[in-house]
Structure 1
Amino acid sequence: MPGPKPLVLVLSDRERRVLRGWLRKQTASQALVLRSRIVLTCAEGRPNAQVAEKLGISRETVRKWRARFVADRLEGLVDKPRSGAPRTITDEQVESLVARTLDQAPPTGDSHWSTRSMADVAGMSQSAVSRIWRAFGLKPHIVQTWKLSTDPEFVTKVRDVVGIYLAPPENALVLAVDEKSQIQALDRTQPVLPLAPGTPARMTHDYIRHGTTSLFAALDIASGSVIAQHYRRHRHQEFLRFLKTIDAAVPKDLELHLVLDNYATHKTEAVKKWLLRHPRFHLHFTPTSASWLNLVERWFAELTCRKLRRSAHRSVTELERDIRHWINEWNDNPKPFVWTKAADAILDTLAAYCTRNSDSGH
């Protein structure tokens, strides 16, 4: 017996344009392309059996999408968003987990929460705990060190140092000066294995010490070039010798403004007397426990990461020669570190941080 008469399907001009557009659209899903072909073919007046044979699909599929289009038109061909599985973790459980992470210590006596210990207490999976922590930016496994300066002249010194960075005096050179002491000449107990495809360079964790050196450095904040000198000891005598090195390296017509920390060797009587005889030197001291204000520390970080951390040396002389070569290469193409934050912005940030911690009871 013949099947039921198919539903009459007539397209408007707009619907025909949309369907043909879906056929050409590269980002359209294969399912939407097939449904568009079904409707366009049905609109030619063909019965379901002929449409199914032409497109190589079942008559039931043709019947389904013909009926869907007649009922809902173009919207009937587009998949509706699925609701997904119902939530198994409530807002109250999330709030409780976050509060426990912030305010309570693990019952096991551990120093900090892990996903496993929190999952056991909260009755959730480790992956659920991890997702919640990521959503709220919680990282119990990470701790950062910090120290707030208690220098009674903190504000004055911050304004002085930042001011010299942002507005250097005319006819003057601003140098950020410090010492990187106790640089060790270390040699690995076995040869370093080189980098290979799929394998990083490898070195032994143990090493042999061959002595230490100290590097005195003065970073020109304008050009990024560095005046540097090695000394085997780290006393005011070496600091004085380095001041003389700076004095000889910089043209006599320039004033010299040095940004320094509060290390005792910078303030001895011998240093003060020498400075009185060399009035072009002007010292600007950073607050105590505020080495982040000295830009040469940023350059020391470059030296450590790019040279010292993965080097091996069999003697102090070899270490000093290697560092000197690296500094020469740096000075051939120096890169200044540009200070951008104003003193008021720094002080406002610190004030807000102190207020926040005071209000939290910590």
Structure 2
Amino acid sequence: MARTGRPKVALVLSDEERAALEGWVRRRSTSQAWALRCRIILACAQGASNKDVAARLGSTPHAVGRWRARFVERRIAGLGDKPRSGGPRTVTDEQVAALVTRTLESAPKNATHWSTRSMAKKTGLSQSTVSRVWRAFGLQPHRSEMFKLSTDPYFVDKVHDVVGLCLDPPERALVFCVDEKSRIQALDRSQPVLRMMPGVPQRVTHDYVRVGTTTLFEALDVATGKVIGSPHRRHRAEECKKFLIKLDREVPDGLGIHLVLDNYATHKTPAVKTWLLAHPRFHPHFTPTGSSWLNLVERWFAELTDKQIRRGAHRSVQVLEKDIRTWIAAWNTDPRPYIWTKTADEILERLALYLNRIPDSED
């Protein structure tokens, strides 16, 4: 039976065109729209139908047919957007490409990163043009984010252990993420805090008086979000044992207790190890070295800091500890568990992408 429908336009690429299209697809600075058009042409050149190409690349048959026809008619130039109403372009594609390349691959002599003004002065373009190009390509030279890669030789195994424990806890057992927030400072402002008024935010003095510190030992129940906390003035194995005894007392008998811990020395002292051996229902699971982000209690500490400690004024350590206990009690009246959104394999896959971006990484 003869095939019906509009016949697709034959598409054959030269070696130069194929190399150019594949180069744009691989380059990280290529816009998503342009990269998709390049992928469409490369797929069409393999003989696939418009419907198959659309299904593979998440587009529509109509769009695939349009870019196929425009490429056959005008080659690579046909993949560009058609001229819109308004004045003619004053910035060429070559200037845009040079601007993006300079932003990604160089830095100014008198600074660590480019600004719109310094880049405009260097390239001869206007500041608004530089800003528009940076927005179009998602470039933000003024921003910098921190990261750290673990060197733990058992990193993969520990990630699977901790994440698997949180996603699928064992039966008749509770999983607690345990850590200490050490040296929480009790700070009192040098002058009284001025309360917020209409049109005027709360005002506090920039200087403060240190009146002491405390350490908060905390255990976050992964399933319910409830926390068990205990502030102590010192941060030693003795205080760690006291907190484990408190945890043992508050968890019903007959339930196993799995602890997610980091590699802080206090958790691995002989005294703590001996105590854990004497209480076989406790099962420690250590996060990889330098990977405290795997411990969910760190997220809870961030909320405590943001909502209670950072803007607080405490005249004594006793007042600070009282406020912390009050905040914990209020949290436990309506606890909110933190939910893992990625599996261990997804975490490791994303880590592999970071490793590929580090030139001297061979692992």
TM-score under structure 2 normalisation?
0.75
* Deviation of the 1:276 alpha carbon: 1.0
The one-letter code of the counterpart of 2:190 is T
- Equivalent of residue 94 in structure 2, options 82, 89, 92: 92
2:336 — aligned with what? 335
* Letter of the structure 2 residue corresponding to residue 104 of structure 1: S
* Superposition deviation, residue 147 in structure 1: 0.4
Q: Shift of residue 187 of structure 1?
A: 1.0
Q: Tell me how far apart the structure 2 counterparts of residues 274 and 353 of structure 1 sit (CA, whole Å).
A: 40
User: Paired residue for 2:85, among 60, 74, 83?
Assistant: 83
| Map of 1:158 onto structure 2 | 159
Gaps of 5+ in 2: 1-82
Partner of 1:58: none
- Contact 1:166 1:340 (8 Å CA) reproduced: no
Aligned CA distance change for structure 1 residues 359 and 148 (closer, same or farther; 3 Å): closer
Supply the RMSD in Å over aligned alpha carbons: 1.6
List structure 1 segments (4+ residues) > 3 angstroms apart after TM superposition: 358-361
| CA displacement at 1:329 relative to structure 2 | 0.3
Change (3 A) 1:82 1:272: closer
What corresponds to 2:143 in structure 1?
142
Say which SS state the counterpart of residue 282 (structure 1) adopts: strand
CA distance, structure 2, for counterparts of residue 82 and residue 333 of structure 1 = 55
Paired residues of 2:355 and 2:361 also in contact (CA < 8 A): no
Please name the residue that 1:249 is paired with: 250
1:177/1:218 contact within 8 Å kept: yes
Spell out the pairing of 1:112-131 with structure 2 (5 A cutoff): 112-131=113-132
Cα separation, 1, equivalents of 2:253 and 2:314? 38
Q: 2:193 & 2:134 partners in 1: Cα distance? A: 39
Cα distance in 2 between the residues matched to 1:270 and 1:353: 39
How far 1:196 moved relative to its partner? Answer: 2.1
Counterparts of 1:144 and 1:117, CA distance in 2: 22
Q: Work out whether residues 295 and 337 of structure 1, in 8 Å CA contact, stay in contact via their aligned partners in 2.
A: yes
CA distance in 2, matches of 1:182, 1:292: 20
Tell me the matched-pair count: 280
Displacement, 1:106? 0.3
Pairing 1:305-324 to 2, within 5 Å after superposition: 305-324=306-325
Equivalent residues of 2:224, 2:336 under 8 A apart: yes
Amino acid at match of 2:103: T
- 1:352 offset after TM fit, Å? 2.1
Query: Cα deviation per residue 1:89-124 (whole Å; 9 max; x = unaligned)?
Result: 1111111111111111103x2111111111110112
Superposition deviation, residue 188 in structure 1: 1.2
Quote the Cα distance in structure 1 between the aligned partners of 2:86 and 2:139: 27
CA distance in 2, matches of 1:358, 1:332: 49
Helix, strand or coil: the match of 2:358? helix
Q: Percent identity?
A: 65
Alignment of 1:127-276 (within 5 A): 127-276=128-277
Counterpart residue identity of residue 253, structure 1:
G
Alignment correspondent of 1:347: 348
- Secondary structure, aligned partner of 1:358: coil
Per-residue Cα deviation, 1:146-180 (whole angstroms, up to 9, x for no partner): 10000001001000001100110000010000000
Kept in 1, the 8 Å contact 2:257–2:283? The answer is: yes
CA–CA distance in 2 between the matches of 1:246 and 1:269? 19
2:160 counterpart SS class? helix
CA distance in structure 1 between the aligned counterparts of 2:213 and 2:248, rounded to whole angstroms:
26
Which amino acid in the other structure matches residue 89 of structure 1? V
Q: Which amino acid aligns with 1:327?
A: I
Contact 1:211/1:316, CA 8 A, preserved across alignment:
yes
Letter in 2 for 1:216: F
Partners of 2:93 and 2:273 in 1: how far apart?
A: 65
Within a 5 Å distance, the mapping from 1:44-63 to structure 2 comes to none
- Select the structure of larger CA radius of gyration: 1
Amino acid at match of 2:126: S
The amino acid that maps onto 2:359 is S
Cα distance in 1 between the residues matched to 2:205 and 2:276 = 47
Q: What is the match of residue 77 of structure 2?
A: none
User: In structure 1, what is the Cα distance between the partners aligned to 2:84 and 2:324?
Assistant: 62
CA deviations over 1:46-79 (Å, ceiling 9, x no partner): xxxxxxxxxxxxxxxxxxxxxxxxxxxxxxxxxx
Please, what TM-score do these two structures have when normalized by structure 1? 0.75
Letter in 1 for 2:149: L
- Unmatched runs of 5 consecutive residues or more in structure 1: 1-80
Displacement after TM superposition at 1:205 (Å): 1.5
Distance in structure 1 (CA, Å) of the matches to 2:357 and 2:111: 27
